[in-house]
Amino acid sequence: MAFAVVCTRALVGVAAPLVQVEIHLANGLPQFNMVGLPDTEVRESRERVRAALVNCGFQFPPRRVTVNLAPADLPKQSSRFDLPIAIGILAASGQINDRTLHLHEFAGELALSGTLRPVRGALPMAVAAGKDGRKFVLPWDCAQQGALARSTEVYGARHLMEVCLHLSGEQPLSPVRVETETRHDQSYPDMADVRGQLRARRALEIAAAGGHHVLMKGPPGTGKSMLAGRFPGICPPLDEQEAMEVAAIQSASEENFSTTQWGCRPFRQPHHAATVAALAGGGARSAPGEASLAHGGILHLDEMTEFTRSALEALREPLETGVISVSRAARKVTYPARFQLVGTMNPCPCGFLGHPSGQCHCSPQQVARYLNRISGPLLDRIDLVLEVPAVSLWEARQSQDGEPSARVRERVVLAVQRQKERQEQTNARVPVAALLRHAVLEQCSQDLLSRAANRFSLSARAVHRILRVARTVADLRGDERVRMTDLAEAISYRGWACSDG
**Residues found near ligand ATP in the complex (CB under 6 A):** 194-197, 218, 220-226, 344, 346, 391, 396
Which residue in 134, 173, 174 sits closest to 151, CA to CA? 134
264 binds, among Mg ion, ligand ATP, none (CB under 5 to 8 A by kind): none
Query: Which is it for strands 384-387 and 267-268: parallel, antiparallel or unpaired?
Result: unpaired
* Other Cβ atoms closer than 10 A to 32: 17
CB 344 → Mg ion: shortest distance, Å? Answer: 5
CB 315 within 8 A of CB 326: no
426 binds, among ligand ATP, Mg ion, none (CB under 5 to 8 A by kind): none
38 binds, among Mg ion, ligand ATP, none (CB under 5 to 8 A by kind): none
197 binds, among ligand ATP, Mg ion, none (CB under 5 to 8 A by kind): ligand ATP
**Chain position whose Cβ is nearest to ligand ATP:** 223
Nearest CB to Mg ion, comparing residues 22 and 303: 303
Chain centroid, CA 372 distance in Å:
28
Nearest CB to Mg ion, comparing residues 79 and 225: 225
Tell me the torsion sign for CA atoms 415, 420, 422, 427.
Answer: positive
Regarding 325 and contact with Mg ion (CB under 5 A), the answer is: no
CB 476 within 8 A of CB 209: yes
Q: How many residues bind Mg ion (CB under 5 A)?
A: 1
| Residue 182 to residue 475: CA distance in whole angstroms | 24
CB 396 → ligand ATP: shortest distance, Å? Answer: 6
CB 394 → ligand ATP: shortest distance, Å? Answer: 13
Nearest CB to Mg ion, comparing residues 217 and 438: 217
Residues 200-239 that bind Mg ion (CB under 5 A): 225
CB 298 → ligand ATP: shortest distance, Å? Answer: 16
Q: For residue 28, count CB atoms less than 10 angstroms from its CB and return exposed for 0-12, middle for 13-18, buried for 19 or more.
A: exposed
CB 65 within 8 A of CB 31: yes
Question: What is the number of H-type helices and E-type strands within the chain?
Answer: 22, 18
CB 267 → ligand ATP: shortest distance, Å? Answer: 16
Nearest CB to Mg ion, comparing residues 183 and 272: 272
| Residue 317 to residue 295: CA distance in whole angstroms | 14
CB 440 → ligand ATP: shortest distance, Å? Answer: 38
CB 362 within 8 A of CB 350: yes
Nearest CB to Mg ion, comparing residues 78 and 222: 222
CB 373 → ligand ATP: shortest distance, Å? Answer: 15
For 144-213, the DSSP string reads HHHHT-TTS-EEEESBHHHHHHHHHTSSPPPBP--------------GGG--S-HHHHHHHHHHHHHT--
221 binds, among ligand ATP, Mg ion, none (CB under 5 to 8 A by kind): ligand ATP
196 binds, among Mg ion, ligand ATP, none (CB under 5 to 8 A by kind): ligand ATP
Nearest CB to Mg ion, comparing residues 115 and 344: 344
**Chain position whose Cβ is nearest to Mg ion:** 225
482 binds, among Mg ion, ligand ATP, none (CB under 5 to 8 A by kind): none
Which residue in 129, 8, 25, 122 sits closest to 70, CA to CA? 8
CB 224 → Mg ion: shortest distance, Å? Answer: 5
Nearest CB to ligand ATP, comparing residues 144 and 222: 222
| Residue 142 to residue 259: CA distance in whole angstroms | 10
Which residue in 457, 404, 51 sits closest to 205, CA to CA? 404
346 binds, among ligand ATP, Mg ion, none (CB under 5 to 8 A by kind): ligand ATP
Nearest CB to Mg ion, comparing residues 225 and 325: 225
CB 117 → ligand ATP: shortest distance, Å? Answer: 42
CB 225 → ligand ATP: shortest distance, Å? Answer: 3
Helices assigned H by DSSP within 322-442:
364-371, 376-380, 393-398, 405-423, 432-438
Nearest CB to ligand ATP, comparing residues 59 and 398: 398
Nearest CB to ligand ATP, comparing residues 7 and 301: 301
Residues 416-445 that bind Mg ion (CB under 5 A): none
Q: How far is CA 237 from CA 201, 240, 391, in A?
A: 19, 10, 32
Nearest CB to ligand ATP, comparing residues 77 and 344: 344
Q: Which residues pair with 218 in a beta bridge?
A: none
Residues 18-37 that bind Mg ion (CB under 5 A): none
CB 401 → ligand ATP: shortest distance, Å? Answer: 9
Using the CB atoms, write b or e for 433-444: b if 16+ within 10 Å.
Answer: eebeebbebeee
For binding to Mg ion (CB under 5 A), which residues are involved?
A: 225
